[in-house]
Amino acid sequence: MIDLNRVQQLRSEIGEDDFREVADLFFAEIDEVVCRLAHSPDPAGLEADLHFIKSSALNLGLSRLSNLCRQGERAAAAGREKNVDLGPILTAYRDSKSAFARLTG
């Protein structure tokens, strides 16, 4: 679910003091998009929303979430927005966010 090597790499790149601030910023930005997807998804913006979450998730080492978003992004790019099941993505986000918080304290 979480790529521990990426988390450690991010910590070493930006330093321990800034790590929490950066992680909090990423999660705040992802929260906005996840909320939109949960309550009023826009089929025309689905590909972009999933790309954004995927990229942010990769930066934080949230590998499972990133993979699910990549699959959905590809489907949306191919014109199959209606085939994208947001349920697993939203669940993966919630689970990943909780696991990240436990892991990083």
34 by Cβ neighbours in 10 Å (0-12 / 13-18 / 19+) ranks as buried
Q: Tens digits of per-residue pLDDT, 13-69?
A: 999 889 989 999 999 999 999 999 999 999 999 999 999 999 999 999 999 999 999
Cα 82 to chain centroid distance, Å, stands at: 20
Output the CA torsion sign for 18, 60, 50, 97. Answer: negative
For the cut 90, the answer to whether the pLDDT of residue 103 exceeds it is no
> For residue 23, what pLDDT is reported?
92
> For residue 26, what pLDDT is reported?
93
The Cα–Cα gap between 2 and 35 comes to 22
Q: Tens digits of per-residue pLDDT, 58-78?
A: 999 999 999 999 999 999 999
> For residue 104, what pLDDT is reported?
86
Q: What angle do CA 33, 101, 22 make, to 5 degrees?
A: 60
Sort residue 61 into left (φ over 0), alpha (ψ -120 to 50) or beta.
left
> For residue 16, what pLDDT is reported?
85
> For residue 67, what pLDDT is reported?
97
The Cα–Cα gap between 37 and 40 comes to 6
